[in-house]
Amino acid sequence: MIRHNLRNGYTTGSCAAAAAKAAVLFLITGKKPDQVTLDLPGGESGTWIPVPVSDDNKVFGETRMGSCSFRVQKDAGDDPDVTNGSWIYVRAALLSKEELAARLRYGKGYLVSAEPTVYLDGGCGIGLVTREGLSCPPGHYAFNPVPREMIGGAVEKVCRDAGYREPLLITVAIPGGEKLAKKTFNPRLGITGGLSVLGTTGIVRPMSEEALQDTICLELHMNSLAGKTLIMMTPGNYGETFLEEQMKLPAGKAVVCSNFVGDSAAMAAKEGIRRILFVGHIGKLIKVAAGMKNTHSRYGDCRMETIVRILSQVLGGISSQLREAITACGTTDEALKILMGIEGNPAQLVMNETARAVKAQMEAWSGEKVSVEVVVFSSALNLIGCTEFAEEYGDQIRNEDEKLFIRG
């Protein structure tokens, strides 16, 4: 049973979008909002209380005419997020066409809206991407695609409602972000000087280990009570999206195991689940292939070493130069991109062997009571690896869902 009712919070991207909405509203209409509401990508909505900033030059380093700033305090709920309680500052400013052209050509930010033209920039505490393989290009601020869309959409709506069409500059800052970033995985990934602005649904789900394991156990138990012996399982949002969009499997039906892959396999066996279709991104599943029951970064990082080991295994040995190149990579996508440039595309061999290794690990953790078929993917590189009967498991799940739809 679940012993705790944990409170959800909001991502940094959601807070930035809320502050941006407030700043633009005040800048172009003179109306100071007491609160702002946003529709979030995950289908939920959120409300924030924005606070106007009168001395924003202390945060943004300069006073700019034709601008205003608001801040929103991040509430991550009961998640142990290092940015919980931080203030997310956003300044909205009028932007000349000449300055816009220069920023589009030389800037480190992003064009996030075409009508009106909105340019998103980073201030203090926002990290810069220095390496290939992430969802942001090197040399640009670390705003992931979903937060960029959220901020652009929030600003665009305010402008559309007010009939405003001139260019705007939106600058996000998180004072203290550079210090906080040292407590994250950003330096290893090649994000320097601050935090990355993340989020896929706009909501932060609590990551209490005990509560998460309780939730996983309950979900497995409910599947068992429903008579299911074949289920889908994935570590998180990326896997759920892949299941729905790429494999055309029923949305929201997968058991999300987070980092607790080993424990989830054992719990599934205890609940009478006999078959699992396990789907996840290579960055997470490569750790499972190495034998990590819990894939959280605090338990170690063996990703590049495991890719080197698997690559050497499938090729019968590799050169020291290739070994060094892979070891120096910050992400699995970066490593696989190197392999895709080699004759014979050993990246595909690594993906398939990773899937087989994950299958073996999970079946062992289940006490050999569960048969596991695996799909491992890299959406950025359009690479997919799978075990022999993964497609068959997918067909069975799809057919069963269609039968339930007809009966319902």
Mean pLDDT calculated for residue range 143-148: 94
Q: What is the pLDDT of residue 81?
A: 78
For the stretch 9-37, pLDDT in tens is 889 999 999 999 999 999 999 999 999 99
Residue 407 has pLDDT above 70, yes or no: no
Q: Which strands sit side by side in the sheet containing 110-114, from one edge to the other?
A: 51-53, 67-73, 87-94, 168-173, 117-122, 110-114
Give the count of alpha carbons within 13 A of 190, CB side only. Answer: 18
Mean pLDDT calculated for residue range 276-305: 94
Mean pLDDT calculated for residue range 351-360: 98
Residue 356 neighbours by CB under 8 Å, 6+ apart: 374, 387
Q: Among 189-193, 256-260, 385-389, name the one with the lowest average pLDDT.
A: 189-193
Write down the pTM of the prediction: 0.64
For the stretch 239-271, pLDDT in tens is 999 999 999 998 778 999 999 999 999 999 999
pLDDT band for position 208 (cuts 50, 70, 90): low
- DSSP H helices in 61-111: 97-106
